[in-house]
């Protein structure tokens, strides 16, 4: 259910970017999802098709691609980075709890693949040139 | 006759919602309406606490309530019957949280804005509501004694985004292994600025303290 809300947000954002860019159709959306973002990629895929079909304008046949980003934390005491999922908040090298997450919380829209109708925008400039 | 292109976006999924939320917050400030977003797990006592709190506050503040649920209107009816305050029910359409756009629709649906405080009772859930900024001026969460003092460790984001944590059902402290000092420590680990107020919505203990805290926060916000 959580993922459905996120998918609705993605659709809203992508549809509006697609409209601004006057594209005909969005073919593919690529997301970057961090390992500890709380978003589960397979759940996203589950509701993706339905949501695109019912809630989007330019994304009716849009594929979803997910790039998963590993979670890494940094220890302030011994100044090393380590795997967050494996070791949690405690540094595996020195045992310190003074650690913070460097990457892994991302839920980004990376890019979109769009289709344009060709032979457009050619005369745009000449039309708006001189009006006096 | 068709050309395919890649458009780089590099934007957080939540950025559209955050923009909507900031806009709503600005609009509320102009109207002078303080929006309080109340979140908790199901059964922590949101509705019971609200009834006691509203009855304490309604002589000083004009209040309205928005109830968000996946379905049904039992909470809206309960609040109206017990406090006389207008309450509208929002349905999230199957979703586990409210976002800023849905909240704005709710605010617009209140008709008249002769109101000081709008309380949004979010869907009972400790995960998703924390992730979606509703545009509220303050986030509040209720942690009830039977849920355990380790809740802030399991749902860190909820406690990070809430500046007011109410510990409810303190009348049951004697039957649960709930350590009040430990819960405070766990909450402050996630959010050092969180105000923690222990109450019992059933007996009414601590409700006056909660009401006074909110009144002072609202008047601080007005002067901002």
Give me the interface pTM, i.e. the ipTM: 0.77
Residues from chain A contacting residue B161 (CB–CB below 8 Å): none
CATH number (domain holding residue A12): 3.30.2320.50
Per the prediction, chain A carries an average pLDDT of 87
Q: Where are the domains of chain B?
A: 15-217
- Residues in Cβ contact with B202 at an 8 Å cutoff, skipping those fewer than 6 apart: B48, B169, B171
Residues from chain B contacting residue A104 (CB–CB below 8 Å): none
Query: What pLDDT score does A77 carry?
Result: 95
Query: How does residue B178 score in pLDDT terms, banded at 50, 70 and 90?
Result: very high
Pair B138, B37: CB distance under 8 Å: yes
For residue B94, pLDDT over 80 is answered with no
Choose from B13, B130, B133, B154 for mutation: most chain A CBs within 10 A: B13
Residue A124, classed as helix, strand or coil, is: helix
- The boundaries of the domain holding residue A28 are 2-70+104-116
Query: What pLDDT score does A124 carry?
Result: 47
For residue B216, pLDDT over 70 is answered with yes
Q: Which of A1, A110, A113 sits opposite B10 (nearest CB)?
A: A110
The two tokens of residue B115 are 């109101």
Number of domains in chain A: 1
Residue B116, classed as helix, strand or coil, is: coil
Within a domain: A108: yes
Strand partners, A115: A25, B4
Within a domain: A92: no
Within a domain: A85: no
Q: Given CB atoms, is B126 within the 8 Å cutoff of chain A?
A: no
Average of per-residue pLDDT across B27-50: 95
Within a domain: A82: no
Closest to A69 in 3D by CA, of A120, A96, A35: A35
Query: What pLDDT score does B96 carry?
Result: 78
Within a domain: A110: yes
Within a domain: A121: no
Query: What pLDDT score does A120 carry?
Result: 52
- Which CATH fold would you assign to the domain B15-217? Rossmann fold (3.40.50)
Within a domain: A41: yes
Exposure on the CB side of residue B40, measured as CA atoms within 13 A: 23
Within a domain: A9: yes
* Dihedral Cα A86, A97, B155, A8, nearest 10 deg: -60
Q: Give φ, ψ of B197 to 5 degrees.
A: -125, 115
> Can you give the length of chain A in residues?
132
d(CA A129, CA A121): 14
CB-CB under 8 Å, A2 with B6: no
* Dihedral Cα A103, A109, A113, A117, nearest 10 deg: -150
């Amino acid at each position: 259910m959580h993922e459905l809300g996120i998918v609705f947000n993605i659709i809203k954002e992508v549809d509006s970017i697609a409209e601004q860019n006057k594209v005909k159709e969005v073919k593919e959306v690529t997301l970057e999802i961090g390992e500890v973002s709380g978003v589960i990629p397979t759940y996203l895929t589950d509701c993706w098709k339905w949501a695109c079909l019912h809630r989007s304008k330019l994304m009716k046949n849009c594929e979803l691609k997910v790039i998963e980003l590993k979670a890494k934390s940094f220890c302030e005491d011994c100044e090393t980075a380590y795997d967050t999922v494996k070791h949690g908040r405690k540094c595996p090298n020195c045992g310190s709890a003074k650690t913070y997450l460097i990457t892994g919380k991302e839920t980004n829209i990376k890019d979109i693949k769009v289709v344009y109708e060709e032979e457009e925008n050619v005369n745009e400039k000449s039309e708006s040139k001189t009006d006096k | 006759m068709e050309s395919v292109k890649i458009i780089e976006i590099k934007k957080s999924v939540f950025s559209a919602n955050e923009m909507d939320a900031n806009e709503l917050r600005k609009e509320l400030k102009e109207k002078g309406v303080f929006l309080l977003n109340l979140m908790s797990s199901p059964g922590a006592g949101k509705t019971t606490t609200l009834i006691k709190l509203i009855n304490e506050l309604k002589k000083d503040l004009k209040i309205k309530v928005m109830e968000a649920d996946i379905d049904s209107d039992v909470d809206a009816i309960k609040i109206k019957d017990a406090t006389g305050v207008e309450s509208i029910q929002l349905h999230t359409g199957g979703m586990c949280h409210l976002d800023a756009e849905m909240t704005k629709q709710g605010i617009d649906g209140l008709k008249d804005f002769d109101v000081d405080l709008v309380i949004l009772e979010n869907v009972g859930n400790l995960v998703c509501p924390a992730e979606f900024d509703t545009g509220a001026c303050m986030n509040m969460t209720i942690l009830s004694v039977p849920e355990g003092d380790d809740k802030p460790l399991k749902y860190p984001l909820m406690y990070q985004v809430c500046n007011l944590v109410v510990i409810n059902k303190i009348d049951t402290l004697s039957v649960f292994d709930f350590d009040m000092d430990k819960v405070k420590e766990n909450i402050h680990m996630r959010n050092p600025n969180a105000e923690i107020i222990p109450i019992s919505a059933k007996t009414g203990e601590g409700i006056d303290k909660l009401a006074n805290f909110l009144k002072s926060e609202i008047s601080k916000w007005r002067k901002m």
